[in-house]
Amino acid sequence: MRVAAVVFDLYGTLLRFEAMREPLAAAGVPDPEVFIAAWRRKQLEYSFLTSLAGAYRDFDELTALALDHTCAQLRWDGSRDARAALAAAWRTLPVYEDVAPALDALARRAIPLAVLTNGRADSARAALAAAGIANRFADVLSVDTVRAYKPDPRAYALATARFSCAPDKIVFVSSNAWDAWGAQRFGLRVAWCNRAGAAPETLTPAPERSLSGLAELDALVAAEL
């Protein structure tokens, strides 16, 4: 079956949000690893809560609010300027080492590539540009358009609308188990990039296509053609 496009999640799949440890350490946060894990959890929790409550706020806002909560929870009294710099650092995250080679391999197949992100479109494009991979993608799709965060079906429908195809013509790549779950439920052909060796979600069957890294993606897509 022909693949119409390969669509990627952004944070944690292409961009290494764990790299936030470095600016956190530079800001004087005592335990950056614990801090970034708590910040990320709260950031995602806020996205789920605002979708469920019909009280959408964009991802940059939620990131800043989650940062404030994490500072209070972990009792780190960062200044307003320090917090603003940390929130802005989400736009300068580096890519994982396997990203560029994987994108190069897919480009040789002339398959359109896109990003589908919970982030704001301008922030996502800035992050992709800073990481040096913005020119690899035909489009950046943001949930801002539908004001509902993944795993809401309306978010995944952005991909099928963009490429004018059925869900099973799109390979969706995410390292987030909850995102892989939502995309599979919507009907996309999910490739779960399970770099961390996490257990699959149990709400639905595990994704049929699991990768230990993006180096395996080209062979998987070739088998789908």
Strand partners, 211: 193
CA–CA separation, 161 vs 127, rounded Å?
Answer: 24
Say if CB 103 and CB 114 are below 8 A apart. no
**Helix (H), strand (E), coil (C) string for the chain:** CCCCEEEECCECCCECHHHHHHHHHHCCCCCHHHHHHHHHHHHHHHHHHHHHHCCCCCHHHHHHHHHHHHHHHCCCCCCHHHHHHHHHHHHHCCECCCHHHHHHHHHCCCCCEEEEECCCHHHHHHHHHHHCCHHHCCEEEEHHHCCCCCCCHHHHHHHHHHHCCCHHHEEEEECCHHHHHHHHHHCCEEEEECCCCCCCCCCCCCCCEEECCHHHHHHHHHHHC
Measured in whole angstroms, the distance separating CA 211 from the mean position of its chain's CA atoms is: 16
Residues designated catalytic: 9
